[in-house]
Structure formats: structure tokens, C-alpha cells
């Protein structure tokens, strides 16, 4: 499946109940040859309205985080596990993640990333391992199927609890270092 076919199939998906309340499918944005992929859990209200991941207050903070390591949204690909907003911004249920996860898997097949950054606990539990604890395991690197994976605190968590920001800065610098080590078409400013 190519990008256009995948996008068309995804935006017409009705495999779970989240499709009943969505405004827009949030497919993902960024370079279609990105070596670095940031993966969140699912769209919030602003993302649902605009059809783009991380566009609200958390998205602005994520942009600031990227800028700290010389990246912009145009340098990476940003996606979510689920493509439709869970009601009330609740965590996506396991059944919803299962129903929607194949869209993300297809995106990753097309992207062939070298690095995946899980944004928050839910994403890390889905992508890295089910018992992932963000406060314990953030910033650690895991190698799965030749892809280097790590997790950072979600920007919303950092907005609520600024005491986690120094740890996140260390994690971001480690991501920057890993990009410099293994990526060939991701240029850091």
C-alpha cells in the first residue's frame, strides 16, 4: 500500500467506536521519508478539529522541545497510535489501540524509521513494552527490529509538572546525539 492509498483507507475507517464521534481522522504529518518518528497516544480536541497531531498547547510545547535539539516538524514524522479522538481526551482503550494500530504499523512500514520517540506512557506501552513505566524508563534506549526506540514525558505532563522538564531536556539531548550517530538524511540545525 502506498501513502495515498493508506491515507484514503485510514480516513474512511470505522473499525472502532471512536469513528462515531470524530470530527477528523488525524492521520499524521511530516516527511514521508523521515528517519525519526514521534508517536503519541491519540488526538485531543484541537487535533480532532484540525486533523493534525499535536496542535494544541501540548503541540506548541512539543515544537519548543524539537527546537531545543535543532528539529522542526518538517524534519520528522508525527503520528498517534489511534487516529480518532477518545471522548473527553481519555486514554485510548486497548481494543481501540488494537483496532487502529495497524494504520500506524503501515505508516512505519512505509517510513522505515531509524528512531522512534514515544511521546508519553501509553505510546511507550504500545510500542516498547506493556509494563513500561514512564517515570522509571524514560530516556532509555531499546532496539526492536533494527529501530532505536525511546520515550519522553508527554508535553501535557510537562505543562502540568514542570519539575520533569530537566529530565526531559537530558532525554532530548540523547535523542539529538542518537540522530547524529545513525541518521543520514535528518539534519539538525
Q: What are the chain's domains?
A: 3-181 (3.40.470.10)
Rounded distance between C-alpha atoms, residue 119 and residue 13, angstroms:
24
Core vs surface per residue 131-141: b (16+ CB within 10 A) or e: ebebeebbbee
pLDDT in tens, the chain (189 residues): 899 999 999 999 999 999 999 999 999 999 999 999 999 999 999 999 999 999 989 999 999 999 999 999 999 999 999 999 999 889 999 999 999 999 999 999 999 999 999 999 999 999 999 999 999 999 999 999 999 999 999 999 999 999 999 999 999 999 999 999 999 998 887
Name the pTM for this structure.
0.96
Task: Characterise 159 by phi-psi region: left (phi > 0), alpha (psi -120 to 50), beta (else).
Answer: alpha
Rounded distance between C-alpha atoms, residue 47 and residue 68, angstroms:
23
Rounded distance between C-alpha atoms, residue 67 and residue 74, angstroms:
11
Amino acid at each position: 500500500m502506498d501513502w495515498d492509498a493508506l491515507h484514503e483507507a485510514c480516513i474512511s475507517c470505522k473499525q472502532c467506536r471512536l469513528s462515531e464521534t470524530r470530527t477528523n481522522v488525524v492521520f499524521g504529518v511530516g516527511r514521508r521519508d523521515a528517519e525519526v518518528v514521534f508517536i503519541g497516544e491519540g488526538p485531543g480536541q484541537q487535533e480532532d478539529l484540525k486533523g493534525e497531531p499535536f496542535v494544541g498547547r501540548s503541540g506548541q510545547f512539543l515544537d519548543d522541545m524539537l527546537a531545543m535539539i535543532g528539529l522542526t516538524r518538517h524534519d520528522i514524522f508525527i503520528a498517534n497510535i489511534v487516529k480518532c479522538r477518545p471522548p473527553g481526551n481519555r486514554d485510548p482503550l486497548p481494543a481501540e489501540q488494537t483496532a487502529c494500530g495497524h494504520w500506524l504499523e503501515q505508516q512505519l512500514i512505509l517510513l522505515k524509521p531509524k528512531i522512534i520517540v514515544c511521546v508519553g506512557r501509553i505510546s511507550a506501552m504500545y510500542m516498547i513494552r506493556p509494563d513500561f513505566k514512564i517515570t522509571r524508563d524514560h530516556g532509555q534506549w531499546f532496539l526492536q527490529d533494527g529501530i532505536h526506540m525511546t520515550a519522553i514525558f508527554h508535553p501535557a505532563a510537562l505543562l502540568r509538572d514542570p519539575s520533569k522538564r530537566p529530565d526531559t531536556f537530558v532525554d532530548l539531548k540523547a535523542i539529538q546525539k542518537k540522530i547524529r550517530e545513525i541518521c543520514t538524511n535528518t539534519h539538525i540545525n
